[in-house]
Amino acid sequence: MRMLRIIAILATLIGMIAGSSSAEDKAPKKTKVENLEERIEKIKTSIPSLAGKDLVDALSAVNALSAQVVAEKLKEARKHEDSSVRDARRAREKKEKQEAERQKKLADFYRKLNIRGCPTGSVVVPGNGIYFSGLFYTATVDISNKTAGPVTISTQAGGIGLLAGNLCTNGSITLSFALPVNWINMPVMLVATNASGSVGSITITIVRGPTNPALWEIKK
């Protein structure tokens, strides 16, 4: 009898263990967002006891994990958006990407112009005929305005016209512009003007590929 009772107790214990295991198996698996949020909460509970670099690292970790939570929630939300919303979003994202690329190219363009001594955005450069590639026949000139007011730089060569406008007093700019192959080794005149008329000119030569810039200091 005692043996039967022991067997019965063991059977009961096995059943309880099996039931507990089954309950754990049936428990819903945590999502990626839930796991991230759990990690954030754990870090937050430790923050009051931290200082110095440890505190900075903990706050940085919270910010990084929070950004992941936002990204995951956005990804999940996009799975359920209807086609019209999805198409509108993709069109908006494409436009934003194109604008970001345009701004990057524009920033790179102005960086290569190397504008110095003038307020940001004050010098007008339309980009007409201006290049920085060794594949073109180019003329390069570094211009400094030493007159009492802003000047405009232009050339009639190749029908280019305006190269730079509103170059301020004591301002400088590096211009590099391209012309067709038949201009190779040909002289090109650049003219500086202000509100009163011409204040100077320089003649430079078109060469193949990059070259050291001619130096032009406008004085009057």
What does the pLDDT look like over 122-175, one tens digit per residue? 888 886 545 554 445 677 889 999 999 999 999 888 778 888 999 999 999 988
Residue 65: how many other CB atoms lie within 10 Å: 17
Q: Of 202, 190, 113, give the one whose Cα is nearest residue 153.
A: 190
The predicted pLDDT at position 129 comes to 47
Q: Specify if 33 maps to a domain.
A: no
The predicted pLDDT at position 194 comes to 92
Cross-strand bridge partners of residue 190: 202
Cα–Cα distances (Å) from 72 to 76, 93, 107, 144, in that order, read 6, 18, 32, 53
Q: Specify if 204 maps to a domain.
A: yes
Number of domains in the chain: 1
Q: Specify if 209 maps to a domain.
A: yes
C-alpha radius of gyration, the chain, whole number: 35
Q: Specify if 180 maps to a domain.
A: yes
| Domain span including residue 180 | 137-218
- In the chain, the amino acid numbered 180 is P
Q: Specify if 80 maps to a domain.
A: no
Residue 138: how many other CB atoms lie within 10 Å: 23
The predicted pLDDT at position 195 comes to 86
Q: Which residues of the chain are under the pLDDT cut of 50?
A: 23, 129, 133-135
Q: Specify if 75 maps to a domain.
A: no
We report the CATH number of the domain holding residue 189 as: 2.60.40
Encoded tokens for 63: 């910010």
Q: Specify if 171 maps to a domain.
A: yes
Q: Specify if 193 maps to a domain.
A: yes
